[in-house]
Amino acid sequence: VLILDEPTASLDTQEVELLFGLMRQLRDRGVSLIFVTHFLDQVYQVSDRITVLRNGSFVGCRETRELPQIELVKMMLGRELDTHALQRAGRTLLSDKPVAAFKNYGKKGTIAPFDLEVRPGEIVGLAGLLGS
């Protein structure tokens, strides 16, 4: 499992595309990745599932192709917004058996405990508001 925490924060557009290409190649080889970002367009470009944390607490985890962007924003903010939803096409996973599982994962006083599973060849995006 490869954990990428804000890897695109200081990259230009070309570098981001190169990184995403590498991430896809790794996924296609069966490597599992956790991609942490605050850039919603990026999480939709490369993630198979999106897990949302708000104020250090687990809000939910959904298949990217089944999560309209407006719903993601609602999950992140905890309230409705008046904008149009975007949906992305999905793909078939290599297996349903997790290669990594985090049970009751958290940090006392910072992140409330939550569960997270990562399946073979899957990129799991973690999304939240800046500073969360």
Counting Cα atoms < 13 Å in the Cβ hemisphere of 21 gives 6
Is the entire prediction scored with pTM above 0.85?
no
In this prediction, residues 16-41 reach a mean pLDDT of 94
Cβ contacts of 42 within 8 Å, gap of 6 or more:
8, 16, 20, 35
pLDDT for the residue numbered 87: 33
In this prediction, residues 56-60 reach a mean pLDDT of 89
More confident residue, 91 or 89: 91
- Domain ranges within the chain, ordered by starting residue: 2-127
